[in-house]
Structure 1
């Protein structure tokens, strides 16, 4: 797919270095190479080539040892991330080794990492929603955090730009708090979801139930095949039907002839020349040999994940930046955010026993935010809001009692219909939620690791209480029975939407990055992954990372051409 070069010429000064190859790193590579820049992508893990390196993409549970379960040795290898419930034999090879890459939980925090080409773009949930000015103005309006240096109008054209390439399926709704995207045809809701939608929108004015907006192709697009409704996405899609770096952006970057990828390359620090007042490159540790190598570039994009990029910056010290690259404000490492998760309700739907659905649709329904969107929906219990994800389907008959041929036949029949919703709530940017370097705990390569000290605040707990209350009430009023509300009261990290720690802002005294994702005091360094986020909204953030990255790359090339960086 690309020029994979473990022996990349150390004497060459590249036009650009991109650290990381996940969702934002893939976009940085695509945009920079397509604009003519010779670009080196540094990937700390192994090569994963599209289709070729998806070993479990077509396997059924009975094709795998332990029917897809993990061995004790494998569970120990992922002893932290196993808590997520997302790791099985089908995806274990895409998750980082927690023993080799330790971190310290000052307070409980789940950190999911994926160290290979494509990063977590192979594993992500693919829900894609735009932020609105309700989000970009939130900090300024209610006084939490600092003001975003951009507004929706600044990023809207870039949302459209990345959507047209990535392929987002969905339907327009016209809500100001959830701007419409450039859509491919939407997936179809099943009969129970349509039934719940009609009842819910009749019972609750101002609430809407829509099919999820997702980075799944419903028609062939840009040389990639459409979704086959297998719902095996996290194994890697051989059709390229969902957006990933491996299937979409990295092949586009490779097509330019300007791309070099160096795998097994741990970005240890950004090198900064105190005399010239500019970053000069990236110091790399070869993860297989332990060799230290310096690579030079005119422009550097940090896309190693929110906490990964911040870890690199904290480790990048010089006379100019004694506390980490760009840390004049003291905000580097602070304001860590995530989304609350796994709170909601489930119930049984009567009727529809003569109906079923075709395939395994890898997408659910969405209920957009409806609290604190205007004066009529304002709450005095919390600020910000939440949205719901969920869906309906028929359960199995696994809990039946009996024996013999009739019993076996009943096991094969579909059970009753169920419908569930789970909320995703916005987390405020608390200065006290932070990551720091921990010299006492070192990784396999003798590098300092992160200590993570973060927890939900009173506002998140109030939002979660409202999520469960609303979920139960909605399912009751749409006619479900045997409703069970749930609140798993998990720690931060379970949403796998970590954001912040190198936030954008208007004032260098209170932020790390400017309106174009440049480090305020090192203008040739850009951070466009989750670290840059100034607030978290309540929608899935990856689409925003894509748009911010494309916008920042355009600005970087423009500034290079003007010799401003």
Structure 2
């Protein structure tokens, strides 16, 4: 780690060290650029992973005593990972309208949310990039699938993603390592689905396998610490500075180009500045939007004027619902791994060509059977196979869904916090109704029974939290819950209707880039992380080339 005060002007300042920040640092540094990576959180140690007893004790303290992670604990991922990898909500508040809850699940540490990511890597297709041309809602992305395809391939090869070639137009194949077979119960479900619906396929999921920790590879390969950020640091061209909470972008008063960023030391509350020829925001969707909003002329000298009025608008997440079930006639004789590739997808329930359904866009179903269990003494049911189906679908971009800065609430360091307004529209409710009918029919045809976790297992100590979690998820999880939020600084062909151009440059300041989920034009239904990283890799290549030409 470098000391804070520095007069060095870096080629690029990358804000955020998670999945996207790691890729930006890797792609820029490997091309010879000097890169400063700023991370708002601390530097974790690999020993923090994999101690279930310690993690459970921390959850008891954080939830029952300190009461600092009420939203974080609503997400299932919180119960699998070290709770220290999730945000302290008292120090890091945000606001919403009373009738519009938003579950903002966050992680502030080197590696960001990549340390708690599920590791699913799905490509988007032109069904998503050009959806507006089909149904007329809002606008297309200014890029196509072919623009991202080379970067998808490069990342899949680098990460050694596992998957299978299926030839589906709505879910393009990638460059995969061989994947593992479906479980016997999943093969049963596959036969049911594909015999019932001629246009449905149940396929192995695509992504990372379960992490097997070794001294040589303590961090998971799906985390930036175990992959992209690790490779970036190995170039010798990267300076990593943790506990550096970026407040805003600094602009040159004459050129209005970005000069660097202002940030606060998380431990001392001291303010600092860092300078670079380019600034790349990879801080996560809402955090990048917060930084941009705090960089407007209302708050900063020579700040952004936001001429389109689009900054902060069109926030999206995936609309989702979860169902657990039991297949009583199929014995669960073995528990298989559950990971990004050790599961399945049914892509994609949508009106690709027909208009027989009343909702626009589409959704997919992620699932697994025989993938998890608890000791037999905790089972309330017999020896049947336990499974889950989670549908998540595209949320339409809507002007009303937005992020602003709170006018009266600040975080523990005095920075204004986001005020988030996001609600589901009629289209999402129609999609949810379809999701529930499809899931119920699949389980019924398979000979299964919908059940709650608390009906299948004795859950001592945390039964109340598990019940609340299931209640939250029962029909429709609230916005934010699925941790797939995108939008707020959307990409487009015109500065009148977007915040960044097709190369992720802020229209007003072409050496300021936004490459994480904030730049998304529409949400698609697929897990977004691989596409975010592909966009980041593409923008990084552009930055390096433009810098070589002297244009940045």
TM-score (norm 2): 0.89
8 Å CA contact 1:528–1:548 kept in 2: the answer is yes
Q: 1:313: which partner in 2?
A: 292
Instruction: Give the superposition deviation at 1:347.
Output: 4.0
Query: Among 359, 365, 370, which residue is 1:382 paired with?
Result: 359
Structure 2 CA distance for partners of 1:89 and 1:372, relative to 1, 3 Å: closer
Query: Among 20, 23, 26, which residue is 2:16 paired with?
Result: 20
Q: 2:540: which partner in 1?
A: 553
8 Å CA contact 1:314–1:323 kept in 2: the answer is no
8 Å CA contact 1:349–1:419 kept in 2: the answer is no
CA distance in 1, matches of 2:405, 2:52: 42
Q: Does 1:283 align with 2:226?
A: no
Instruction: Give the superposition deviation at 1:207.
Output: 0.5
| Deviates most, 334-343 or 547-556 | 334-343
| Deviates most, 330-339 or 414-423 | 414-423
8 Å CA contact 1:342–1:488 kept in 2: the answer is yes
Query: Among 17, 20, 27, which residue is 1:31 paired with?
Result: 27
CA distance in 1, matches of 2:91, 2:138: 35
CA distance in 2, matches of 1:67, 1:448: 29
Q: 2:113: which partner in 1?
A: 120
2:133 match: secondary structure: helix
Q: 1:340: which partner in 2?
A: 319
CA distance in 1, matches of 2:20, 2:373: 37
TM-score (norm 1): 0.87
Query: Among 73, 79, 94, which residue is 2:85 paired with?
Result: 94
CA RMSD of aligned residues (A): 2.6
Structure 2 CA distance for partners of 1:99 and 1:173, relative to 1, 3 Å: same
Instruction: Give the superposition deviation at 1:111.
Output: 0.4
CA distance in 2, matches of 1:322, 1:482: 61
1:77 match: secondary structure: coil
Q: 2:466: which partner in 1?
A: none
CA distance in 1, matches of 2:440, 2:420: 34
Q: Which runs of 5+ in 1 are unaligned?
A: 218-226, 402-410
Structure 2 CA distance for partners of 1:346 and 1:553, relative to 1, 3 Å: same
Instruction: Give the superposition deviation at 1:289.
Output: 1.6
Instruction: Give the superposition deviation at 1:244.
Output: 1.0
1:127 match: secondary structure: coil
Q: Does 1:255 align with 2:234?
A: yes
Query: Among 508, 511, 516, which residue is 1:524 paired with?
Result: 511
2:320 match: secondary structure: coil
Q: How many residues align?
A: 527
Q: 1:407: which partner in 2?
A: none
1:369 match: secondary structure: strand
Q: 2:162: which partner in 1?
A: 169
8 Å CA contact 2:167–2:173 kept in 1: the answer is yes
Instruction: Give the superposition deviation at 1:365.
Output: 1.1
8 Å CA contact 2:504–2:519 kept in 1: the answer is yes
Q: Which runs of 5+ in 2 are unaligned?
A: 453-472
Deviations 1:141-184 (A, max 9, x none): 22222221001111111111111112211101000100001101
Alignment of 1:383-532 (within 5 A): 383-393=360-370, 397-398=376-377, 415-477=383-445, 479-483=446-450, 487-532=474-519
Q: 2:37: which partner in 1?
A: 41
8 Å CA contact 2:122–2:528 kept in 1: the answer is yes
Instruction: Give the superposition deviation at 1:511.
Output: 0.2
8 Å CA contact 1:301–1:526 kept in 2: the answer is yes
Deviations 1:481-522 (A, max 9, x none): 334698433210111001000000011101001101111111
Structure 2 CA distance for partners of 1:86 and 1:395, relative to 1, 3 Å: closer
